[in-house]
Structure 1
Amino acid sequence: MLMLSLNSTLSIFGLIFLGFLLSLAGLMRRGADEVLSDYVFYLALPVEIFLTTLKSNYTSGVNVSAYVQAYGVGVSILWVVIFFVYRIFLRKSLVEVGLNFIAIGQTNTAFLAVPIFILLLGDSALVVPIIVFQSVVLTAVAILVMEVSSISKAGSLGVFLKKTLWVVFKNPLITSALTGSLISQIKLPHMIDTDFFIIESMEVIARTAAPIALIALGASFYAGRVASTLKNNCNEVAMGVLIKNFLHPAISFGVGHYFFGLSGLLLFALILISAMPSPKNTFIFAQVYGVSVQKFNLIVLATTGVSFFVVNAACYFFSSSCGMRF
């Protein structure tokens, strides 16, 4: 079982390492990781998610609502822990608390969860509702925490609402998921016919999403390499890894199994999505709010490396309960 799990996940993390090596060796030009990331985020992944929601039949006989609710409750508990650790114990500013809500209180859905779910479960159907929930709800709350100090200023609440709506609606992953769901409900015959030439063309693009996303993720680690001056942040990074890679899956298991009665595929998917590392776009928020970009790049790198072992452990202990080949 363990060898089969390792073979599957090694192919995924091997592509991440390949992207890092290509960037390290200078075979990828400076900024190539950003070009690849843009291609994945604005074209390949939206197409893949659109097709997944268009043709997915996972809603029949599967309590997706309980799955998303369990994830939401688990994240709420996790965020209480993060607030206590970073605000009460470490006395960080609300901006850093909000950034940690994103960095270690959310998961890398687009660039890692989608490829892993495609390989292990056959498609990314169970990642799509988490993408929407994180973008619409969790990111909005995190931004609210980071902006709370300015809400007392005149007009700042309106600015905050506009900023939040813009973050949500400019996300192509959300619009593609909503569009695919809408068309699947209308059930236009040629749109769901896999022989229709437009669908076939989109399938070709969708198949590039997973490998290029992983290579771009690996290349970004070298492009955003961390300076040696961050030695004083090692304890904080280690705390982030502990919370993200170990506490989050543990909380999700307890909430999903004991409070929502999840089992089989949904419980495995819940643990798997919680075991994903920090989201890649964390550094964007760090840049916007003037917090150490290098520190949060290090958190993304460290949680991604540790997630390899956590994902394999989840596959080994839980995949057999949902009838998978592991």
Structure 2
Amino acid sequence: MSGVLAGFTVIFVVIFIGYVVARTHVLGESGGLVLGRMVFFVATPALLFDTLARADLSVIFSPTLAITAVGALIVGAISLVIALTVTKRGLPEATIGALAASYVNAANLGIPIAVYVLGDASFVAPLLLFQIMIYSPLALTVLDVSTSSKDASFLGIVAAPFKNPIVLAGLAGLALAITGFTLPDPVMQPFTLLGGASVPGALLAFGMSLYGVKVLERGAGPRRDVALASFLKMAVLPVLTYALARWGWNLDGHDLFAVVVIAALPTAQNVFVYATRYGRGTVLARDTAFVTTIVSIPVIAVVAALLA
């Protein structure tokens, strides 16, 4: 629990600083929007390229990759179907809701939790690969096509992922990891430097978005959508992950504990960054990230008590 609290303390402090920045208007009225775009177009691609270029593929391609991928896709599909058929949301908003329900905070919270609680940061590497190389491109393609003012052609749909800086950076980093080619240190250092701004930048942008608003305010946001996404993320995904790992892949012991803890992490701030980028579902992404971050503390504690 000391590891869990340490990881969450860091997150809350940086978010609070972002709130103070917005409250004092240090960055002006559009500071949060500009910061969010910087994270999306510059810092996050640099972080993904740097991370994947140095990745150990033998650790990444493990049963954890399959378990986290299947669990996230199932929960995301459930959320998408409910949003489109029951609550009658548009495809962009439904896509953001699906991400909010299944996209795990693997980087800025997953890594410290993996180190302090699981004892090994490599446990989150397969999840990072799945979210970077499969889930993000899939969701961003849907958002690109569904928010475009032009009629989408087959060629446009196919080309959409390759116009996205996050996808391109992930592909480039994975190519280096697969080929074993190592770039000179002076070439990699700028990406490392820029990538270091991704996590704090996303947290600061998230904190700035909280100024002047009330989370879950009646009539100001999609409270039912937030409740659904939070329930799917913090209850359904961990239980489903346990079932997949225990009876689908026959994991037990520490490996079983690790994949369930990872599934119990809150919604990533990346979802809010994506929502801001496309101007759809921003309140849903913000409120779900906030709620799941609070709820994940007792959830992870229960998982640790039952499985550790």
**TM-score bracket for the superposition, by shorter chain length:** 0.7 to 0.9
Q: Residue in 2 aligned with 1:280?
A: 272
- Sort the Cα spacing of 1:44 and 1:95 in 2 relative to 1 into closer, same or farther, 3 A: closer
Instruction: Tell me the TM-score normalized by structure 2.
Output: 0.75
1:230 is paired with a residue whose SS is coil
CA-to-aligned-CA distance 1:106-141 (integer Å, 9 cap, x gap): 315xxx431123433447633132222212345557
Q: Does 1:70 align with 2:71?
A: no
Amino acid at match of 1:73: V
Find the residue that maps to 2:187 and give its secondary structure: helix
CA contact (8 A) 2:92 2:143 kept: no
For residues 224 and 283 of structure 1, the distance between their equivalents in structure 2, rounded to whole angstroms, comes to 17
1:303 correspondence with 2:292: yes
Q: What's 1:211 paired with?
A: 200
Instruction: Check the 8 A contact 2:100/2:233 in 1, yes or no.
Output: yes
Aligned to 1:323: none
Structure 2: which amino acid aligns with 1:99? Answer: T
Cα distance between partner residues in 2 of 1:164 and 1:105: 26
- AA at the equivalent of 1:15: V
Q: Write the distance in 2 (CA, Å) between the matches of 1:174 and 1:185.
A: 16
User: How is 1:156-235 mapped onto 2 (pairs within 5 angstroms)?
Assistant: 158=153, 162-163=156-157, 165-166=159-160, 168-189=161-182, 191=183, 196-222=185-211, 228-230=217-219, 233-235=222-224
Structure 2: distance between partners of 1:281 and 1:205: 17
CA shift at 1:306, angstroms?
2.8
Output the amino acid matched with 2:109.
I
What amino acid is the match of 1:162? G
Q: Check the 8 A contact 2:15/2:206 in 1, yes or no.
A: yes
Letter in 1 for 2:133: V
In the superposition, the TM-score normalised over structure 1's length comes to 0.72
C-alpha separation between the residues in 2 aligned to 1:172 and 1:233? 30
Q: Deviations over 1:178-224 (max 9, x none)?
A: 112212333335x1x6xx22223433333333222222222123377
Residue from 223, 230, 237 that aligns with 1:241: 230
Counterpart of 2:232, as a letter, is I
Which whole-Å CA distance do the structure 2 matches of 1:228 and 1:302 have between them? 13
Q: Structure 1 pair 215/75, CA: closer, same or farther in 2 (3 Å)?
A: same
Q: Provide the rounded CA distance (Å) in 2 between the counterparts of 1:271 and 1:313.
A: 10
Deviation at 1:51?
A: 1.8
Aligned partner of 2:94 in structure 1 is: 98
Deviations 1:43-89 (A, max 9, x none): 222222212211221x22x462533332332234324643665566x
1:265 to partner: Cα distance? 5.1
Residue 271 of structure 1: how far off its partner (Å):
4.2
1:12 maps to: 11
Are the counterparts in 2 of residues 226 and 298 from structure 1 also a CA contact under 8 Å?
A: yes
Which residues of 2 match residues 13-92 of structure 1 at below 5 A?
A: 13-57=12-56, 59-60=57-58, 62=59, 64=61, 66-79=63-76, 81-82=78-79, 85-86=82-83, 90-92=86-88
Whole-Å separation in 1 of the counterparts to 2:198 and 2:233: 25
State the superposition RMSD in angstroms.
Answer: 3.8
Task: Mark the runs of 5 or more structure 1 residues left unpaired by the alignment.
Answer: 148-154, 321-326
Aligned counterparts of 2:191 and 2:84: Cα–Cα separation in 1: 46
- Contact in 2 for aligned 1:71/1:270 (Cα 8 Å): no
Q: Work out the percentage of aligned pairs sharing the same amino acid.
A: 18
Could you say if the C-alpha distance between residues 97 and 280 of structure 1 is closer, same or farther in structure 2, counting changes exceeding 3 Å?
Answer: closer
In structure 2, what residue type is equivalent to 1:182? A
For residue 280 of structure 1, give the secondary structure of its aligned residue in structure 2: helix
Structure 2 portions without partners, runs of 5+: 116-120
Contact 1:20–1:221 (Cα < 8 Å) also in 2:
yes
Q: Does 1:113 align with 2:106?
A: yes
Larger Rg: 1
Compared with structure 1, are the counterparts of its residues 262 and 93 closer, same or farther at alpha carbon in structure 2 (3 Å cutoff)?
Answer: same
Q: Alignment partner of 2:125: what SS?
A: coil
Which residue is equivalent to 1:151?
A: none
The SS at the match of 2:188 is helix
